[in-house]
């Protein structure tokens, strides 16, 4: 495995069909049989509006935002002033919209939901990336994502400056505590994994320095240090001596992440950037005629 194969795989833009399907499902649950409130507006009324960030953020989700209005009414136009991954201050105008007033009103909440969630993920990620700046350690996401939005949130992590861990259970092998218990030993589990999926990145979760030694001897690509104390992490870094990559996991927050990075680990995985994400406060406002 090369360095680019071990945990450094920022994903490309999600495919158009995935964005379309995510938006279709979101609009179905919101509109249902029809937007009865928007129907109060004259059908031929045209409106201009804009989206404004109410707080500082890293912007993300413009493709989902655009797709919402594309599916509702192709006459809606969106002109972006920013790009995904841009940092913005509070009160920044993100885009301008023009189109049938009914369409803008119907799509407002769904479009903002996507932007608020993905901007929240990107913003949280950037906070962790900034916290470890200069250490050489990289921030990873996990599979702790919102159901149905795995690719979208991992895209947001990448736009926030983080790196993507495996997408799912199919594109890398991660042998965790229960796998080891079921297989008997780390060595047994690694041997079986190499035979079953020889081309995939292989990582093993460890809880002790003795397990680190066993995983290293077994020939893994990455060793996860699960809830290690800082002294134990430093010892693991010394023992491994750069022969494989080390990922720290557990007890990670913005108060602890810098000290963890300074132990010399290559990666720190942070479940909260996708699991506990707080939506960014965005608003759509119609402009005066």
CA distance 9 to 140: 10
Marked catalytic residue, from 87, 98, 176, 194 = 176
In the annotation, is 176 catalytic?
yes
Marked catalytic residue, from 108, 226, 247, 266 = 226
In the annotation, is 203 catalytic?
no
Tokens of 224: 């996860």
Pairing between β-strand 222-226 and β-strand 202-206 as defined by DSSP bridges: parallel
Q: Where does the chain show beta strands of DSSP type E?
A: 46-53, 57-58, 77-80, 87-88, 93-100, 138-140, 173-175, 202-206, 222-226, 245-249, 267-269, 282-286
CA distance 102 to 69: 11
In the annotation, is 262 catalytic?
no
Alpha carbon of 52 to those of 33, 78, 90, 115: distances in Å? 30, 13, 8, 11
In the annotation, is 154 catalytic?
no
In the annotation, is 266 catalytic?
no
**Closest residue by Cα to residue 129 from 281, 274, 7, 254:** 254
Check the CA dihedral 57-63-69-74 and report its sign.
positive
Marked catalytic residue, from 24, 109, 243, 285 = 109
Marked catalytic residue, from 87, 98, 144, 258 = 144
Dihedral class, residue 173 (left if φ above 0, else alpha if ψ from -120 to 50, else beta) = beta
In contact, 162 and 129? CB cutoff 8 Å: yes
Residue whose entry in the numeric block shows the structure tokens 């136009």: 77
Catalytic residues: 109, 144, 176, 205, 226
């Amino acid at each position: 495995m090369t360095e680019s194969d071990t945990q450094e795989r920022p994903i490309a833009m999600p495919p158009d069909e995935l964005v379309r399907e995510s938006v279709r499902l979101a609009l179905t649950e919101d509109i249902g049989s029809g937007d009865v409130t928007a129907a109060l507006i004259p059908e031929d009324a045209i409106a201009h509006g804009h989206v404004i960030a109410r707080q500082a953020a890293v912007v993300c989700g413009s493709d989902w935002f655009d797709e919402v209005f594309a599916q509702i009414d192709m006459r809606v136009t969106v002109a972006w002033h920013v790009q995904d991954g841009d940092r913005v201050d509070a009160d920044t105008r993100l885009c301008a919209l023009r189109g049938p007033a009914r369409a803008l009103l119907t799509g407002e909440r769904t479009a903002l939901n996507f932007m608020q969630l993905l901007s929240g993920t990107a913003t949280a990620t950037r906070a962790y990336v900034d916290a470890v700046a200069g250490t050489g350690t990289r921030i990873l996401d996990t599979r702790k994502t919102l159901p149905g939005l795995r690719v979208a949130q991992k895209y947001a992590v990448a736009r926030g400056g983080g790196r993507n861990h495996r997408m799912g259970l199919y594109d890398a092998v991660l042998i965790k505590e229960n796998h080891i218990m079921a297989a008997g030993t780390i060595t047994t589990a690694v041997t079986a994994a190499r035979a079953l999926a020889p081309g995939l990145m292989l990582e093993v979760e460890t809880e002790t320095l003795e397990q680190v030694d066993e995983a290293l001897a077994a020939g893994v690509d990455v060793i996860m240090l699960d809830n290690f104390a800082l002294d134990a992490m430093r010892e693991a870094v010394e023992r491994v001596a750069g022969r494989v990559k080390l990922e720290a996991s557990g007890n990670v927050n913005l108060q602890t992440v810098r000290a963890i990075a300074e132990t010399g680990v290559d990666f720190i995985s942070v479940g909260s950037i996708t699991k506990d994400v707080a939506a960014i406060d965005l608003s759509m406002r119609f402009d005066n005629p």
